[in-house]
Each structure stands twice: as structure tokens, then as C-alpha cells.
């Protein structure tokens, strides 16, 4: 059955069930040759101009503008929020970005700056980016973000525990953070560049999904490699399989290394072909790539007028 039809049927029937938690040691093995073949077909495909413009606007609406540096200041956060508002205010035909993502101590400032918009405020938590801390500290970090008004929380898993095979620990930690999030949506960062084989990416995806993630996310953006199309393909397939079992939709966020529109469009095609049109909104798909916004704006202008704008016309945040 086509997944898009299945989504519509599930929504109509109101069908959603709690699936049985699997033995994560038995997560599906990944055919790396098959994944590579799929990605090769995606990256060699051309897109018609009318579809490209539609895709570019969709991408802009799926971006989480982000500043996560040790040198972040109130001024830098204000500038990022102003940019998020300006992208739409300067041209009402353009959609807004999805969210602005900051550290927990800047959440209240971002909420005030974005008041009156439909732009969410996301916050990293759980000792981002390493995740090397106690559960108590991670819960406290999460509650700080939520209490300050975060709409979304991006947590990192304990990769050391994962590599030791302590899958139940990783599961329980995610579940505890999810509970601490309250009504805020939880994005679980796998840091796939540290996981290695695609089999491990699939296993970590399954753990995060069954533990209660609203989104699964590739990377912190702090190590290389960050997001890649093969890794994203595996994570999307985990989302697809869970949906078939439970009727519950899970979101996806590739983050880091997606700096140009051509690559972003390839991710969008991969989502459509794996999950269908139901996932083509910022409710279920995001890009963690601030620099991508500028290239998307330049490409939209190129599609609209036939002329490129200079990079100097846009702030580099």
C-alpha cells in the first residue's frame, strides 16, 4: 500500500496504537549497496523550474535558524531573531522559517523577540553537544529550556552508552527527557558521525523513536561528517516502518553540512519518495542549516527574475 494513502486512512480512522518495544539488538540490517543506489538516483535527477521554486519555498519554511556557539551573546540572538522575521516581512510571498534554535539561557529573549510570529523557539539541552553529564543535569537543562518558553527541545543521546551496548539506558534517558519536555516537542540527536555503520544508525533511530522522540535528528553540527543523504535515508526508513506498525508520524531533521539549495532539494525528494507528501511540511521535516537560508533566498530570486542577488545582500548568521 502506498504510504500516502495509508496516512490518509489512518487519519480518517483515528488509528494509532502503542507498538510493542522491540529487542533493539535485533534492529534490521541495512543494505548499504541498496542505500547507495537509491541516493545515486536521487542526486542525478533534474527538477523542473516550477517544481524547483515550490521546493525552495518549502525548504525555507523548514529551516531552523541556529546559533550555538560559546561566544553567543544577547546581541547575536537578537540579530538572528530579526533575520528570521525579516525574511518574511521583506517579502510577504515568502514563508517564514520554522524556528530559531538557541541555548536554554537565551530562550526567553528569543520568545520575546519572536512574539506575534508563527516562528517557534527551539533549544538544545542535555549537555549539548557531548551529552556527557548525569541524567539529573540533563533533566534540569531540559526544564530550564521549557520553563523559559521553548516550543521544542533538541537533546543528544549518550553515544558512549550506546557504543557499550547499553540500549536500555539510552532508551530510558530519552523517555525521561521526553517527560520533562511536557508539551514541547522533542528532537533526539543521534550524532550519526560518531555512530559509524548504517546498522548502528538504524538501531539508534529505533531506540529514539520507541522512547518517545517527536523528531529524530542526525547531528549536532559540531563534528564531521554531519548529515548525509545515506544516513538520512536509513533514518527515514525507520520512521516509515514505525508508522506502518503504529500509525504514529515521527519527524526528521538532518542537520549540519547542508549549505546549498541543490543538496536541500535532494533531501526533499528523498523524504517524498520514502514517506510521501504527508511529511512535506515543517511539522514533520526540518533542516538544521542556518547558512542554507541565504542560498535558498538567492535561488528563489533567480527563479523569479532570472538574476542572482549578491551574497552581500544577506547577513551571514
User: pLDDT (tens digit, 9 = 90+) per residue, 222-262?
Assistant: 999 999 999 999 999 999 999 999 999 999 999 999 989 99
* pLDDT in the model for residue 14: 45
Query: Cα–Cα distances in Å, from 139 out to 125, 174, 196?
Result: 8, 10, 27
Q: Is 309 contained in some domain?
A: no
In the residue annotation, 253 being an active-site residue is answered as: yes
Q: Is 313 contained in some domain?
A: no
Summarised one tens digit per residue, pLDDT across range 187-212 is 999 999 999 899 999 999 999 999 99
Q: Give CA–CA dist 55/263, Å, rounded.
A: 12
In the residue annotation, 17 being an active-site residue is answered as: no
Q: Is 177 contained in some domain?
A: yes
Q: Which of 64, 151, 154, 295 is catalytic?
A: 154
Q: Which of 151, 253, 295, 317 is catalytic?
A: 253
* pLDDT in the model for residue 1: 46
Residue 49 predicted with pLDDT over 70: yes
Q: Which of 64, 200, 217, 295 is catalytic?
A: 217
CB-based burial label for 258 (10 Å; 0-12, 13-18, 19+): buried
In the residue annotation, 154 being an active-site residue is answered as: yes
- The DSSP code for 63 is B
Residue 275 predicted with pLDDT over 50: yes
C-alpha cell at 8: 490518509
Q: Is 312 contained in some domain?
A: no
CATH value at residue 269: 3.20.20.70
> 243 is in which domain, residue-wise?
3-9+25-304
Q: Is 314 contained in some domain?
A: no
Q: Is 244 contained in some domain?
A: yes
Report which of residues 51 and 179 the model is more confident about.
Answer: 179
- The DSSP code for 20 is P
Q: Is 16 contained in some domain?
A: no
Summarised one tens digit per residue, pLDDT across range 119-128 is 999 999 999 9
Q: Is 310 contained in some domain?
A: no
Q: Give mean pLDDT, residues 13-27.
A: 73
Q: Give mean pLDDT, residues 68-89.
A: 89
Q: How many domains does the chain have?
A: 1
* pLDDT in the model for residue 12: 36
Residue 5 predicted with pLDDT over 90: no
CB-based burial label for 291 (10 Å; 0-12, 13-18, 19+): middle
Amino acid at each position: 500500500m502506498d504510504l500516502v494513502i495509508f496516512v490518509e486512512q489512518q487519519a480518517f480512522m483515528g488509528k494509532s496504537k502503542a507498538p510493542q518495544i522491540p529487542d533493539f539488538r535485533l534492529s534490521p540490517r541495512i543494505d548499504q549497496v541498496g542505500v547507495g543506489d537509491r541516493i545515486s538516483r536521487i542526486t542525478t535527477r533534474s527538477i523542473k523550474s516550477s517544481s524547483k521554486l515550490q521546493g525552495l519555498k518549502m525548504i525555507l519554511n523548514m529551516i531552523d535558524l541556529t546559533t550555538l556557539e560559546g561566544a553567543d551573546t544577547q546581541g547575536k540572538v537578537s540579530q538572528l531573531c530579526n533575520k528570521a522575521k525579516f525574511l518574511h516581512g521583506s517579502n510577504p510571498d515568502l514563508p517564514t522559517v520554522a524556528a530559531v534554535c538557541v541555548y536554554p539561557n537565551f530562550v526567553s529573549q528569543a520568545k520575546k523577540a519572536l512574539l506575534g510570529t508563527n516562528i517557534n523557539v527551539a533549544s538544545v539541552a542535555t549537555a549539548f553537544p557531548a551529552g556527557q553529564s548525569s541524567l539529573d543535569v540533563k533533566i534540569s537543562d531540559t526544564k530550564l529550556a521549557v520553563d523559559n518558553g521553548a516550543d521544542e527541545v533538541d537533546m543528544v543521546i549518550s553515544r558512549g552508552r550506546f557504543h557499550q551496548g547499553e540500549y536500555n539506558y539510552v532508551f530510558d534517558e530519552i523517555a525521561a527527557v521526553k517527560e520533562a519536555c511536557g508539551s514541547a516537542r522533542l528532537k533526539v540527536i543521534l550524532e550519526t558521525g560518531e555512530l559509524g555503520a548504517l546498522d548502528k544508525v538504524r538501531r539508534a533511530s529505533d531506540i529514539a523513536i520507541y522512547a518517545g522522540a517527536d523528531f529524530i535528528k542526525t547531528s549536532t553540527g559540531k563534528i564531521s561528517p554531519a548529515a548525509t543523504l545515506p544516513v538520512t535515508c536509513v533514518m527515514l526508513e525507520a520512521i516509515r516502518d514505525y508508522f506502518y506498525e503504529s500509525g504514529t508520524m515521527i519527524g526528521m531533521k538532518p542537520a549540519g553540512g547542508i549549505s546549498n539549495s541543490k543538496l536541500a532539494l535532494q533531501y526533499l525528494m528523498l523524504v517524498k519518495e520514502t514517506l510521501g507528501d504527508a511529511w512535506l511540511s515543517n511539522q514533520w521535516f526540518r533542516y538544521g542549516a542556518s547558512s542554507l537560508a541565504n542560498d535558498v533566498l538567492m535561488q528563489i530570486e533567480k527563479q523569479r527574475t532570472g538574476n542572482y542577488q549578491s551574497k552581500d545582500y544577506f547577513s551571514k548568521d
